[in-house]
């Protein structure tokens, strides 16, 4: 799995992941609600750039994140220019791009295993409604490990159809893929049960 995490020791890297996520959501909402005029967009942009600097990520990281959302820019700007004034269109687009770039900053400074651990801790109040935090962790872990397995099933089905000279039809492709995936799930359940892991 491709991770976008950039290692570092900055204050942003060291913040607890749960706190960082709440802070990111709060900041995004503030930017989304308050940023309307060009001056506010510039202020928000300065804030985001400060964040990148604080994480030890330079202009190159920032540029590559903006390039990564280039299609969002096109997708937003074109209809906005048709229906709204040019200034509004540009500041609306800039606001959304800023939030996306800020989100990338969160993702780049947080390791996925740390977030999964945080998710397990955050799930502990669910114990009261009968959901064990361990089964949330098991569910997330099994999902990640199932992705390459099921991608392999998809390749198998595609190859089998190609070998028989059948062009990839979506129904005849999806049905064997679903059967293989669900059988895999039942095998996993047997394996989990055999190891006596409660879920």
Partner 1 sequence: MFKQATWDVRDTTRVAAFAALIAVLGLPGALPVFGGAVPITLQTLGVMLAGTILGPWRGAAAVLTLEALVLVGLPLLSGGRGGAGVFVGPTAGYLIGWILGAFVTGAIAFSGSARPTWWRTAAACVTGGILVVYAFGIPIQALVTRLPLAETALTSTVFLPGDLVKAVLATAITLTLWRAYPRAFSRRISPTRSRGAGVTR
The site for partner 1 (CB under 8 A) is made up of: 1-5, 21, 24-25, 28, 32, 69, 71-72, 74-76, 78-80, 82-84, 88, 92, 96, 99-100, 102-104, 106-107, 110, 112, 115-116, 119, 131, 135, 138-140, 142-144, 146-147, 149-151, 154, 170-171, 174-175, 177-179, 181-182, 184-186, 188-189, 192-193, 197, 199
Contact 24, 15 (CB under 8 A): no
CB atoms within 10 A of CB 123: 18
Min dist. Cβ of residue 180 to partner 1 (A): 10
Handedness of CA 179, 183, 188, 192 (dihedral sign): positive
Contact 88, 127 (CB under 8 A): no
Our CB check for partner 1 shows the closer of 44 and 115 to be: 115
Our CB check for partner 1 shows the closer of 43 and 114 to be: 114
Our CB check for partner 1 shows the closer of 45 and 103 to be: 103
Exposure on the CB side of residue 163, measured as CA atoms within 13 A: 6
Min dist. Cβ of residue 195 to partner 1 (A): 10
Helix-strand-coil split of the chain, %, nearest 5: 80, 0, 20
Q: In whole angstroms, what is the distance from residue 198 CA to residue 186 CA?
A: 15
Min dist. Cβ of residue 99 to partner 1 (A): 5
Our CB check for partner 1 shows the closer of 11 and 151 to be: 151
Our CB check for partner 1 shows the closer of 53 and 149 to be: 149
Q: How far is CA 186 from CA 67, 134, 190, in A?
A: 42, 19, 6
């Amino acid at each position: 799995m491709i991770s976008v995490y950039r290692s570092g020791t900055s204050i942003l890297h060291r913040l607890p992941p749960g706190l960082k996520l709440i802070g990111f959501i709060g900041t995004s909402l503030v930017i989304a609600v308050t940023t309307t005029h060009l001056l506010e967009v510039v202020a928000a942009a300065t804030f985001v750039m400060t964040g990148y600097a604080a994480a030890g990520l330079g202009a190159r990281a920032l540029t590559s994140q903006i390039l990564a959302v280039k299609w969002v820019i096109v997708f937003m700007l074109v209809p906005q220019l048709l229906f709204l004034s040019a200034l509004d269109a540009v500041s609306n687009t800039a606001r959304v791009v800023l939030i996306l770039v800020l989100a990338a900053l969160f993702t780049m400074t947080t390791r996925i295993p740390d977030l999964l651990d945080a998710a397990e801790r955050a799930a502990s109040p669910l114990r009261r409604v009968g959901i064990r935090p361990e089964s949330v962790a098991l569910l997330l872990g099994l999902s990640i490990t199932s992705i390459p397995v099921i991608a392999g099933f998809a390749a198998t089905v595609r190859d089998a159809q190609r070998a028989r000279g059948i062009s990839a039809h979506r129904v005849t492709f999806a049905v064997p893929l679903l059967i293989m995936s669900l059988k895999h799930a039942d095998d996993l359940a047997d394996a989990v049960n055999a190891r006596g892991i409660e879920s």
